[in-house]
Structure 1
Amino acid sequence: MKYIVCEKPGLFKLKEKSNPQKVEGQAILGVKKIGICGTDLHAYKGNQAFFTYPRILGHELAAEVIDIEENNQNIKVGDKVIVMPYISCGQCIACKNGKTNCCTELRVLGVHTDGGMQEQISVPMNLLIPANKLSYAEMAIVEPLAIGAHAIRRAEILPNEFIVVVGCGPIGIGIMKFAQIAGAKVIAIDLDPGRLSYAKDKIGIDYAVLAGATAVDKIAEITKGEMATAVFDATGNKEAMEHGLNYMANGGRFILVGLSNGILEFDHPAIHAKETTLMCSRNATLEDFEYVIAILKMGKFPVDIFITHNVSFAQMIHHFDSWLDPTNGVIKATVNF
Structure 2
Amino acid sequence: MLQISLQNPGQFAATHDAPEPTLAPGEALVRVHRIGVCGTDLHAFAGKQPFFNYPRVLGHELGVEVINPGSDPHGLKAGDRCSVEPYINCGRCIACRRGKPNCCTDLKVMGVHIDGGMRPLVAIPARKLHKSEKLNYDQLALVETLAIGAHAVERADIKKDDVVLVIGAGPIGLSVIQFVLVTGATLIVMDVAESRLAFCRDQLGVKHTVTAGPSAIDELKKIGGGDLPTCVIDATGNPKSMMGTFDLPAHGGRIVFVGLFQGDVTFNDPNFHRRELTVMGSRNALPATFRDIIALVEAGKVNTQPWITHRLKLADVPEIFPRDISGNPAVLKAMIEV
Q: Does 1:14 align with 2:7?
A: no
- Greater than 6 Å deviation, 4+ residue runs: none
Q: CA deviation at 1:326?
A: 4.0
Q: Does 1:170 align with 2:176?
A: no
Residues 56, 115 of structure 1: 8 Å contact kept: yes
Whole-Å Cα distance in 1 between the matches of residues 30 and 70 of structure 2? 12
Q: CA deviation at 1:244?
A: 1.2
Whole-Å Cα distance in 2 between the matches of residues 25 and 177 of structure 1? 34
Q: CA deviation at 1:310?
A: 1.6
Residue 138 of structure 1: SS of its match in structure 2? helix
Hey, what does 1:3 align to over in structure 2?
Answer: 3
Hey, what does 2:290 align to over in structure 1?
Answer: 289
Q: CA deviation at 1:233?
A: 0.5
Give 5+ residue unaligned stretches, structure 1: none
Q: Does 1:325 align with 2:327?
A: yes
Whole-Å Cα distance in 2 between the matches of residues 121 and 69 of structure 1? 13
Whole-Å Cα distance in 2 between the matches of residues 107 and 69 of structure 1? 21
Whole-Å Cα distance in 2 between the matches of residues 298 and 205 of structure 1? 21
1:224-276 alpha-carbon deviations (Å, 9 max, x no partner): 11110000000010000011122211110100111121011100100111110
Moved more, 189-198 or 295-304: 295-304
Give the counterpart letter for 1:6 in structure 2: L
How is 1:29-44 mapped onto 2 (pairs within 5 angstroms)?
A: 29-44=30-45
Q: CA deviation at 1:71?
A: 3.4
Whole-Å Cα distance in 2 between the matches of residues 70 and 123 of structure 1? 12
Residues 22, 67 of structure 1: 8 Å contact kept: no
Residues 306, 332 of structure 1: 8 Å contact kept: yes
Whole-Å Cα distance in 1 between the matches of residues 101 and 142 of structure 2? 20
Give the counterpart letter for 1:305 in structure 2: P
Q: CA deviation at 1:70?
A: 4.5
Residue 187 of structure 2: SS of its match in structure 1? strand
TM score, norm. by length of structure 2: 0.97
Q: CA deviation at 1:72?
A: 5.5
The total of aligned residue pairs comes to 336
Residues 56, 114 of structure 2: 8 Å contact kept: yes
Give the counterpart letter for 1:317 in structure 2: P
Moved more, 293-302 or 217-226: 293-302
Hey, what does 1:223 align to over in structure 2?
Answer: 224
How is 1:93-242 mapped onto 2 (pairs within 5 angstroms)?
A: 93-242=94-243
Whole-Å Cα distance in 1 between the matches of residues 227 and 316 of structure 2? 49
Hey, what does 1:86 align to over in structure 2?
Answer: 87
Give the counterpart letter for 1:185 in structure 2: T
Residues 177, 205 of structure 1: 8 Å contact kept: no
Whole-Å Cα distance in 1 between the matches of residues 244 and 23 of structure 2? 50
Whole-Å Cα distance in 2 between the matches of residues 192 and 127 of structure 1? 36
Residue 248 of structure 1: SS of its match in structure 2? coil
Whole-Å Cα distance in 2 between the matches of residues 81 and 71 of structure 1? 16
TM score, norm. by length of structure 1: 0.97
Give 5+ residue unaligned stretches, structure 2: none
Whole-Å Cα distance in 1 between the matches of residues 303 and 75 of structure 2? 30
